[in-house]
Structure 1
């Protein structure tokens, strides 16, 4: 009977735990839905799909009916907020357990903890119960002064604090005078005030709303990039992210002294309104304790917390910008059908050359020395022409690193000296090429090449297929952001990995040509499975249908479900294997074709594409018993089988002649390529040594909230020269034709 009683008790406890977990889960769903302005069903379904092990690209593409067509960004928001709130629930449970073990948990306190929606709220409530190191208050308590503190807090109308304090003199413990006793009691009161959750929450908000970020130079006459912050003040609440991070960096480099200033008097008044009930004999002592609590205990920690919150805001914005720029860069259109001569420019060690064919295969490497200090231009020109003629090179690609503009000048001269004028060149962002070329992956791919030669290959391939090449590089090494080295590297890595994964799955992967690096970013596939796919391909030959992937070791049923829609098999046994249509929908296509009276031999024809485009998805979905979003995607895929979505974007600008900053005059119209987008504008490559800046105010005739609303990395844009600073090598540009200065024709 006793054992049965224990069993029933355990059952009841488990049922209570399950019930509490269910309540917590529903509260989480409601909170996420409220924060993100989504329906409860969308959030509940998405969390369920994620918990089942489905990836975000898979859910976004193939579970649209279930989520109400949420896009990847919305799904990631749900994932991030769910993870945060689940961690929050774990912390709540831990805090409740600790306070309960101290036998200090009240129903009101437990309710407050459970209802908290931010980690900071939980920590504020936990603060009075947290194990503290030795403090002035704890020392005073050890001396037996807590009852005196309680007496002062009782705010008696009569009596004398000195007379009361004399009851607590203990010379053996260091309490020799009434003044020392009172001071100890006030230390206890100050800590109690500092620990009160409501007070801290109010002071934190007031500081954020009314505080001023202030910076000054530690050495006022020193020159640095932080000169605008040598005597700077700005409302904390209004500070843009890039200025927050710039101040932080200047402080970290010991150039700036940064502080957060806020008027103390209103804070004193607020705290007094919570702790002082009216006139009493201890009022002055309480006011002194309040001032001490704020100055010594509350203000320093609140300043750290507010600055931490501002920094987190700045980091989120910096990561967001880097992520958006990276996605644009990854999705740059591939330049096909070109035999490319890649050039990794340098001074002393010479320019490394690599010729690759139109499939990316390496044909030859070489080195030339056309730049200072060697200046062997004649020999270099001979080598360039020799490689161009031998392999019928159609395009030269130059990395934008050290000596790139001198190399560009030399290449322009080589092109000008050739009889065939079809040759052109292009400068590409080589960020991360050195990281790749020194990696284990590059060593395995090109064991016989040195680091710089591998770099030249990577630079050439970046033009032919930017995505396939850039996935070999650690995402944060691709420099298309601002302050990426100043942010949480863990959060940056997580965000950028998601961006690369999204881009790879958006484009799709040719399973018969993809590298392990590319395959590892496919939905559901990890690095081990990616290597197994390539190994299986090498051992058995090219894949002829998607089902063959089920034979790859470690590629189980769940992985197959998640990845297969993003895997492409070109010229395989089944026509749909080259499309984004998931095998689970092949039967829908069969019913559709039977209904239309067409067969797979017509796939890819203009006639079938036109016919499919004319259909009404909603009416057809009902007849085929399939969801409208899924059918819409199927129809789109059938109209353009094998389509690469990047091909719809404009190709990069090819050049044949070099432009110098001295050639520029205000008002000149130029074509350029956006290289980087940041909070305050965009940097545009117009063919000179340094990219020109289009300030946010010059991006459009209308109001621009953020530069990314107007331009993206890789965009080809028309700009006009606003001003030229030859001394600093800076060029100001505008995309507003109305702001372009009149060209000085005499100067031109």
Structure 2
């Protein structure tokens, strides 16, 4: 090795071990990249990462550190957290790749710079590919036979000479090279692998394949009936495939119903690679052209197809998770129906309908079972049992799960309501997805050890109406049926996203610390499952919490946990009325100053006089006087105007019914009110009171162009729809939200 090359290698090697200065450079690089990607000031990104590193949760930062972050919302904070994690892992991988190449003595300053400047993991892996230890390949076998010099001679593209004559020099029985032709083929294998390992070539081919490729599907068995029949002879440009279609095709392939091909015309790819390799006329041009074609067909195309399909799947999964997360959030934030005694019904055929009466706090009062549905058809006896429960507990609402036998049960309940003239009764069908998961869980066994699974399910169904959030947090988020293809996506990523949504919803609403279950408390900022159990145990042993400050007596609930959770926990009838607001204890002194400024007592919280005075305050002028930031003061003033307010109260109440609607009753043009049950990429499913939800296709959501259904509707929305078409055979109803002219 020349003296200059040795010096260069030593210089590069010195950079592999990071100094504090280099670490600072990397940190700064990460900050700038995140700021650039998310279009945020670097200072806000740096502050956010600092707060996260200190153990602050995203809900806490979003609500109580607005001055520090410039009022970034939860989604922006999470984007920063996710990108920071990715880029830190990327930097770690860069260092690892640099070290591995350096140990081979092949690290140049140019390669080092290229790895350092990479912004995606795929770029780093492309650069590392030529140096990765490979299993036995045709190229490695050719190298063992001593054919690298011949490959180098061909790549030098001599203008004179003869390929076969040159190859003849490498014929050797000892090395297993039997002929000049065999030597040329071995050299071509080496060249093909070099081309296939070229990072620039791979990046271009990958991009070209994504932009110009066609995904084609066909049936493995054309006569087989399946839900994938639309894909039995189907093709679509890769770049235009919507996420739900990608996941459907993947599932069909996984279930061995479909065969899937990614096709792209090879001519342009051959031309591009040729421009990178060929340098004009030479005696080896034909040989190199053959090596290029072999490199693409045998080595590049199969791996690029896998990479492109993986990228397609990754993007589709992200979209599916995003849709599920938004639906879940809207479902969790459905308004609670308070102050009502509810009868929950878990429908069934042979085993009977399980009944559960719960009081207005969700406490179980009585369990029963009736058999009004086939094959038993004990309608008269069932009516007698339910009427007795209604009279005994003054039941006002009946909630029916939407599972097996739900519509027969609905018909029965509607008849029953029609017979009762002494009181006003209504019913509602709720989505019971996940109720069986909860009923069989350890949590349900602990809560109701003496009940069987179906009886617990009836209680869960009733409570879903009274407080959807408190009940649904007991269920694994992915078991709540408001997604699309949630079982086809990366489960770890799905769980992380849904956990974030549940945490966000719980902290947005706030939690009554004196009634909350451990499962609900465990989603509060700063509280894990152990702390949640400790809080409940303390409450059981010592009675209700009288103040937020008392939380600090809970075992293992330290200063940091108290800081994170205190503002999200509510105490309704405690020592301080501020404990029933979202105002953090750290701001109580600000409230004291404010009330002195207004010459009012804290006992006047909630009074008309206070509300009137608060409406005329200017936060920008008042904040410096009170020693607080403007965003925090705005939140304080809002909380003081509506103490004890539940933000879910702003959402429309569910539709209650007294009579049943059959699909046979529908006709095109009929106007109906319905509740949006699920929003997916191609439309929204709406409960209009029949057995199956009707579909409003994306094209029927609005008179104007709709990019995604979520731009128009959300889970829980009460909407006006018109019947578009009815398929009695398949039990399907097409709906429109476009008012007929």
Q: Which residue of 2 aligns with 1:581?
A: 583
Distance, in Å, in 1 between the alignment partners of 2:55 and 2:356 is 43
For residue 488 of structure 1, the aligned residue among 482, 487, 490 is: 490
Distance, in Å, in 2 between the alignment partners of 1:482 and 1:673 is 18
Q: Which residue of 1 aligns with 2:110?
A: 108
SS at match of 2:319: helix
1:60-93 CA distances to partner (integer Å, 9 max, x unpaired)?
Answer: 0000011110000010100110000000001001
Q: Is the 8 A contact 1:525 1:563 kept in 2?
A: yes
For residue 194 of structure 2, the aligned residue among 180, 192, 195 is: 192
SS at match of 1:675: strand
Q: Which residue of 2 aligns with 1:165?
A: 167
Q: Which residue of 1 aligns with 2:650?
A: 648
Aligned residues: 728
TM-score, length of structure 1 as denominator length:
0.96
Q: Map 1:593-612 onto structure 2 (within 5 A).
A: 593-612=595-614
Q: How much has 1:259 moved relative to structure 2?
A: 1.0
Distance, in Å, in 1 between the alignment partners of 2:684 and 2:240 is 22
Structure 1: which 5+ residue stretches go unaligned? 1-11, 740-748
Q: How much has 1:111 moved relative to structure 2?
A: 0.7
Distance, in Å, in 2 between the alignment partners of 1:376 and 1:202 is 71
Distance, in Å, in 2 between the alignment partners of 1:345 and 1:621 is 57
Q: Map 1:261-410 onto structure 2 (within 5 A).
A: 261-410=263-412
SS at match of 2:684: strand
SS at match of 1:682: strand
Q: Which residue of 2 aligns with 1:743?
A: none
Distance 1:15 1:136, change over 3 A: closer
Q: Is the 8 A contact 2:62 2:73 kept in 1?
A: yes
For residue 432 of structure 1, the aligned residue among 413, 416, 434 is: 434
Query: Does 2:148 match 1:149?
Result: no
Distance, in Å, in 2 between the alignment partners of 1:484 and 1:594 is 54
Distance, in Å, in 1 between the alignment partners of 2:232 and 2:18 is 60
Distance, in Å, in 1 between the alignment partners of 2:17 and 2:377 is 82
Structure 2: which 5+ residue stretches go unaligned? 1-13
Distance, in Å, in 2 between the alignment partners of 1:698 and 1:609 is 44
Q: Which residue of 1 aligns with 2:133?
A: 131
Distance, in Å, in 2 between the alignment partners of 1:722 and 1:205 is 42
1:650-704 CA distances to partner (integer Å, 9 max, x unpaired)?
Answer: 1100000000000001111101000000001000000000000001111112211
Q: Is the 8 A contact 2:115 2:124 kept in 1?
A: yes
SS at match of 1:168: coil
Q: Map 1:39-78 onto structure 2 (within 5 A).
A: 39-78=41-80
Q: How much has 1:228 moved relative to structure 2?
A: 1.1
Q: Which residue of 2 aligns with 1:744?
A: none
Q: Which residue of 1 aligns with 2:253?
A: 251
Q: How much has 1:421 moved relative to structure 2?
A: 5.1
Q: How much has 1:16 moved relative to structure 2?
A: 5.7
SS at match of 1:737: coil
Q: Which residue of 1 aligns with 2:570?
A: 568
1:215-257 CA distances to partner (integer Å, 9 max, x unpaired)?
Answer: 1111112221111111111110111100000110111111111
Distance, in Å, in 2 between the alignment partners of 1:28 and 1:497 is 26
Q: How much has 1:15 moved relative to structure 2?
A: 11
Distance 1:290 1:13, change over 3 A: closer
Q: Is the 8 A contact 2:669 2:740 kept in 1?
A: no
Q: Which residue of 2 aligns with 1:693?
A: 695
Distance, in Å, in 1 between the alignment partners of 2:726 and 2:636 is 52
Q: Which residue of 2 aligns with 1:6?
A: none
Q: Which residue of 1 aligns with 2:539?
A: 537
1:116-153 CA distances to partner (integer Å, 9 max, x unpaired)?
Answer: 00000000000000010000000000000000000000
1:366-425 CA distances to partner (integer Å, 9 max, x unpaired)?
Answer: 111111111111111111111111111100000000100000000000001112351000
Distance, in Å, in 1 between the alignment partners of 2:363 and 2:442 is 19
Q: Which residue of 1 aligns with 2:664?
A: 662
Q: Which residue of 2 aligns with 1:628?
A: 630
Q: Which residue of 2 aligns with 1:32?
A: 34
Q: Which residue of 2 aligns with 1:712?
A: 714
Q: Is the 8 A contact 1:415 1:421 kept in 2?
A: no
Distance, in Å, in 1 between the alignment partners of 2:88 and 2:357 is 53
SS at match of 2:271: helix
Distance, in Å, in 1 between the alignment partners of 2:72 and 2:703 is 33
Q: Is the 8 A contact 1:507 1:644 kept in 2?
A: yes
Distance, in Å, in 1 between the alignment partners of 2:244 and 2:320 is 8
Distance, in Å, in 2 between the alignment partners of 1:611 and 1:235 is 62
Distance, in Å, in 2 between the alignment partners of 1:614 and 1:353 is 52
Q: Map 1:700-739 onto structure 2 (within 5 A).
A: 700-738=702-740
Q: Is the 8 A contact 2:242 2:316 kept in 1?
A: yes
After the TM superposition, which of the residue ranges 378-387 and 616-625 deviates more from structure 2? 616-625
Large movers: runs of 4+ above 2 Å: 12-16
Q: Which residue of 2 aligns with 1:469?
A: 471
Distance, in Å, in 1 between the alignment partners of 2:33 and 2:15 is 27
Distance, in Å, in 2 between the alignment partners of 1:175 and 1:604 is 94
Q: RMSD of aligned C-alpha atoms? A: 1.1
Q: Is the 8 A contact 1:481 1:678 kept in 2?
A: yes
Distance 1:612 1:15, change over 3 A: farther
Q: Is the 8 A contact 2:146 2:175 kept in 1?
A: no
Distance, in Å, in 2 between the alignment partners of 1:16 and 1:542 is 54
Q: Is the 8 A contact 2:16 2:98 kept in 1?
A: no
Distance, in Å, in 2 between the alignment partners of 1:16 and 1:733 is 62
Distance, in Å, in 1 between the alignment partners of 2:114 and 2:556 is 47
